Structures are given as C-alpha cells and as structure tokens.
Amino acid sequence: MYEVTKTMEVAGAHFLVLLYKSKCQNLHGHNWKISVTCQNETLNESGMVIDFTEIKRIVNQLDHENINHFVAQPTAENIAKWICDQIPHCVRVSVQESEGNMACYIK
C-alpha cells in the first residue's frame, strides 16, 4: 500500500446554523490547517498515488472564500468530508480550525 499526505493552510470565512445561540452563527474567519491522506495499492503512470498539485488545487478552492458556498453546514467535520469526497484515493482528512481544535474524516 502506498500512502501520501499533504498539509496546507487556507484562510476562509463561514457561519454555522446552530440550535443554540453562539457567536459562530455570525460570519467569521479561520486559518484552517488541512492534512489530506491518500492511499492506493498501485501507482499511476507517473509513479504517484496522486499528484500533490491535484490535492492543492481542490483544497485551494476554499482559500479566501465563504466556505458556506461549498459546504451547507461548514463545521470542521463537514469540511473534512467534503474535501475527502473531492479527492481520488483520499482516505483521511484532518481540519484544524484553531489551536487545539481538530476534526477528522476517515473513509
């Protein structure tokens, strides 16, 4: 099994629709640290699981954007799943919203 991981940071804004009162209901921003892990039994014709630039291209769609335009309820958990669903061979995405607060989606 081959495995690759790319970690990057994106800045973006979002707001959450919650069942309780929270300042997170207001539009606000974060610098998210995102780690994407892809696995595959074989390598492509270029000798890769996936090109790191393909991972970067997909994750960078969120950079300096309102993430609500991509993910209906953009919690760190839902952002992680959305990213994982976009990337071939992706098996795990970690989204660190702030220091000490991280969510992971594992396929």
pTM of the full structure: 0.95
Our answer to whether residue 97 is catalytic in this structure is: yes
* DSSP H or E segment with residue 11: strand 2-14
Our answer to whether residue 38 is catalytic in this structure is: no
* Structure tokens that stand for 40 in this block: 């595959």
Of these residues, 54, 65, 77, 97, which one is catalytic? 97
The pLDDT of residue 54 is 97
The pLDDT of residue 61 is 97
Give the start-to-end residue ranges of the domains of the chain.
Answer: 2-106
The pLDDT of residue 75 is 97
CATH homologous superfamily of 2-106 equals 6-pyruvoyl tetrahydropterin synthase/QueD (3.30.479.10)
Our answer to whether residue 24 is catalytic in this structure is: yes
Residues of the chain with pLDDT below 50 are none
Pick left, alpha or beta for residue 64 (phi over 0 → left; psi -120 to 50 → alpha; otherwise beta). left
* Structure tokens that stand for 46 in this block: 């270029």
Of these residues, 14, 24, 28, 41, which one is catalytic? 24
As a whole number, the mean pLDDT across the chain is 97
The pLDDT of residue 93 is 98
The pLDDT of residue 100 is 93
